[in-house]
Amino acid sequence: MHIIENPVVPFTTPIFEGFKHDSKVNIHGDSFGGHHAHFCIEFFAGADIALHIAFRFGHDHHVWINSMVGGCWHAEERHHNPIHHGEHFHLKIKNKHHHFEIKVNGHEFKFPHRISPHFINAMGIKGDIHVHKIHFEDFHHHNGGGIGAYPTGYPTGYPTQYPMPVAAPPPIGYGAPPPVVVIEEGHHHHHGLMHDLFHGHHHHHHHH
């Protein structure tokens, strides 16, 4: 279980070892910005977008859900947006075996897996939104390591407005990838991503 509190939007955080079956992401936030407001939550698989959820307000008061592969958007699915701008919301995204179950303040949407969630390696949030808390349930223990680490020098040319993860997590700017650890007799120890962020990534300590 990992919690990220009050991240600065837009932001992106790495996800290690995919979005497993029955894992869940809970996002608590408030939308702002009036009738032209919109915000977006996306789960990336390298340069592809496995799950794109866009909330729009005002004239186009809908939730648009889509995926993008090889730079091309697939067929989008449109739902009524149950959130009013300025309103607090609780968004739950759960991986059911064949689809994502997306719940917003009690309203439920389903979106079929178009890209295997096993390949998901980052999440991003952008737009007119204050995020209070993101809660990862049943994810690999490295998740949440992106706190306060905002990549710079990321590739351009993507249709999104925030740092886009590259093919292998963690994205550029997050420090060195965690060392590969061989588990021997059920115990292992290493400092991982947060240690890299605060102490540089030139001196890993291994204890076997």
pLDDT of residue 173: 46
Average pLDDT over residues 184-207: 50
Q: Is the pLDDT of residue 181 over 70?
A: no
113 is in which domain, residue-wise?
2-137
Q: Number of folded domains in the chain?
A: 2
Domain membership flag for residue 153 = no
Tens digit of pLDDT for each residue in 89-135? Answer: 999 999 998 999 999 999 999 999 999 999 999 999 999 999 999 99
Q: Flag whether pLDDT at 24 surpasses 80.
A: yes
Statement: the pTM of the whole predicted model exceeds 0.75: no
What is the reported pLDDT for 180?
Answer: 55
In a shared domain, residues 190 and 116:
no
Please identify, among 137, 160, 184, the residue that sits at the C-terminal boundary of a domain.
137
Residue 147 within any structural domain of the chain: no
The answer to whether residue 152 is domain-embedded is no
- Are 208 and 122 found together in one domain? no
User: Which tens digit of pLDDT belongs to each residue from 64-85?
Assistant: 999 999 999 999 999 999 998 8
Q: How far is CA 72 from CA 46, 47, 159, 171, in A?
A: 14, 11, 10, 22
Could you tell me whether strands 88-95 and 99-104 are parallel, antiparallel, or unpaired per DSSP bridges?
A: antiparallel
pLDDT over threshold 80, residue 174: no
Percent above pLDDT 70 for the chain: 67
CA 21 distance to own-chain centroid:
16
Write out the DSSP string of 110-170.
Answer: EEE-SS-GGG--EEEEEESEEEEEEEEES--TTTTTTTT----S-----SSSSPPP-SSSS
pLDDT recorded at residue 68: 97
